[in-house]
Structure 1
Amino acid sequence: MALEIERKFLLQQSPQQLAATGIITILSEQRIEQTYLAIDSNEEIRVRKITDLSTKQTSFTHTFKRGNGLVREEIEYEISETIYGQIMQAFGYIPLTKNRITAQFDNGLIEIDIYDQIQLTVLELEFSSLQEAESYKSPAWFGADISGEKKYSNKKVWKQLQDGKFE
């Protein structure tokens, strides 16, 4: 199982503003529809439909994650459009939708998620080790560190969407 080590920040500026001032360079943008099939306090199973907005190519993934906080185990693989469609039809859930911008910043990559159903923009930064993640000093424009705040997790927001209420 691969490890995902990431920190999340509550971004206050738009990616376009950051790009216009030369702080970041936007590399790509994707449209993501994300649905959870099973969730508990320590594990989740989800599917995604991911469309590259420049090429219009679409892929579908199935992901299992275990753990909480900065480090989680993750298994992700592609599934067919047919399987994705059958899952979506069988469960009838409302997908969480967002645009994901991948950008170059300071010799590394960041991902910025801009959500549709709620007013939320999150910057994610992945690391190769827990030590690197814990010692990283983020620039002020990243915003507040929300890495450990469950109310900003995708699965929490998705669950609120299914219940028809947001906190």
Structure 2
Amino acid sequence: MPLEIERKFLLGDFEPPDTAVRQHIEQGYITIKDDGTEVRLRRIADSCVLGVKRKDSSAGAPVRIEVERELGEQEFTELWPATEGARLSKDRYTFEASGVTVYADVYQGELAGLRTAEVEFGSEAEAEAFSAPEWFGAEITGVKAYKNQTLATRGRPGREV
């Protein structure tokens, strides 16, 4: 199974570097379970994706199993209404910094003003060894209020970490 091992941080003022690749993402959730399992739809540029994530019970906190499948436009359009009330929109900037690939998300709509950065790793050891650059803000890995599924259903947290 494909694993997702990541750490997530708040960002303050953020200006993407010239080398950053920007992608607009529309994301909606069909299912969100208390155990962290989620089924989501994503439109990234011209690509439509159905994804399932769940915690890997045999691994540590930042590790989840993630499976994604391409959908056709018609399939996406037919499923999208099932995400009503559980959606978000953001621009994602992907670039290299501090020896890692950074995924910086600038949220829109009701979440405007929220900016986060995620870094994915090949192993739990790499994730633990990572030292965040100074321009990253507070770490929010595992903080439920900042998980995309929570942001999509409850909005922006009322207090910062």
> Is the TM value for this pair above 0.5?
yes
Superposed CA offset, 1:119-166 (max 9, x none): 2100000011011101211122111111021100000011115xxx86
CA–CA distance in 2 between the matches of 1:35 and 1:90? 8
Superposed CA offset, 1:46-65 (max 9, x none): 000111xxxxxx10000000
From 97, 101, 106, give the equivalent of 1:114: 106
Amino acid at match of 2:104: I
TM-score (norm 2): 0.86
TM-score (norm 1): 0.83
Aligned to 2:8: 8
Dislocated runs of 4+, deviation >2 Å = 89-95
Aligned to 2:54: 66
Superposed CA offset, 1:79-115 (max 9, x none): 0110010011355446310000001113331100011
The alignment's C-alpha RMSD in Å is 1.8
SS of 1:84's equivalent? helix
CA–CA distance in 1 between the matches of 2:10 and 2:84? 30
SS of 1:137's equivalent? coil
Structure 2 spans left out of the alignment, 5+ residues = none
Q: Which has the higher helix share?
A: 1
How many pairs are equivalent? Answer: 151
Aligned to 1:123: 117
Aligned identity (percent) is 36
